[in-house]
Amino acid sequence: MFYNKQIYDEALEKDYYLWRSTILHKLQNHEETIVEVNKLFKLIDFKDFRYLNALTMKIDALISTSLYEEAELLIKDMLLAKDIAMPQKLPFARLLTKLYNVQKLSVPDSYSPVVEELVLNLGIELDENLDLMESIENILQMYTVANRSWHNLILDMEDIDVNGQIDLLEQYIKQEKVGQYRKLAQKNLDDLKPNDIS
């Protein structure tokens, strides 16, 4: 088996800094969390989707140490990024609400296009009377519930026959409020129905 020591050592170093950052973040040692994440980002592109969790820890630490301007620059950069999937932007939307809640401020209207993009791409219907803070919080709550419901559906479908799976999917599609998950369920339903020969 081919073995490249340099690649192996680099991977170990990245994992070490990620592990250190996670432990320090859980211990709420915010200053050291920032230091360790910065060490990690010297080795990788900070937009690398495999390390987005490290970036959220850094931003959270920045907010906790009142470095609001730096935190917002990173949040805005990630929310506007074109190469990051919408679900991966949700943790940064959550941090945006935290940033403004901590400062006892409202989320500015300049973030309206970001919220509209999240709503459109995730297929969520929101009350038009909500302000931006409430809209973001609603998006996060609805997506979390939808994600949990989807995984529960997958577990429920494991031990039943095709007809039972079809019934569950049809019921799920009628009830689910997040369009992204309705589409996913519809795709699974379409894949199953050709086998539904009675």
* Neighbour count for residue 45 (Cβ, 10 Å): 8
pLDDT at 1 over 80: no
136 part of a folded domain: no
188 part of a folded domain: no
Confidence of residue 6 (pLDDT cuts 50, 70, 90): confident
Considering the chain, what percentage of its residues have pLDDT values greater than 90?
69
Note the pLDDT tens digit of each residue in 154-181: 999 998 999 999 999 999 999 999 999 9
Which amino acid would we find at residue 153?
L
Domain that residue 82 falls in = 1-105
121 part of a folded domain: no
Confidence of residue 50 (pLDDT cuts 50, 70, 90): confident
164 part of a folded domain: no
Q: Return all residues near 37 (Cβ < 8 A) that are at least 6 apart.
A: 17, 21, 54, 55, 57, 58, 61
177 part of a folded domain: no
14 part of a folded domain: yes
CATH of the domain at 19: 1.25.40
Which of these, 78, 9, 23, lies nearest to 37 by C-alpha position? 23
Q: What is the pLDDT of residue 198?
A: 47
Confidence of residue 83 (pLDDT cuts 50, 70, 90): confident
168 part of a folded domain: no
pLDDT at 114 over 50: yes
Confidence of residue 2 (pLDDT cuts 50, 70, 90): low
More confident of the two residues 188 and 2: 188
Note the pLDDT tens digit of each residue in 12-30: 888 888 889 999 999 999 9
Task: Give the span between the Cα atoms of 114 and 82, in whole angstroms.
Answer: 11
Q: Specify the number of domains making up the chain.
A: 1
Start-end of H helices in 27-111:
30-41, 52-64, 68-80, 86-102
Q: What is the pLDDT of residue 16?
A: 87
120 part of a folded domain: no
Q: To the nearest whole number, what is the mean pLDDT of the chain?
A: 89
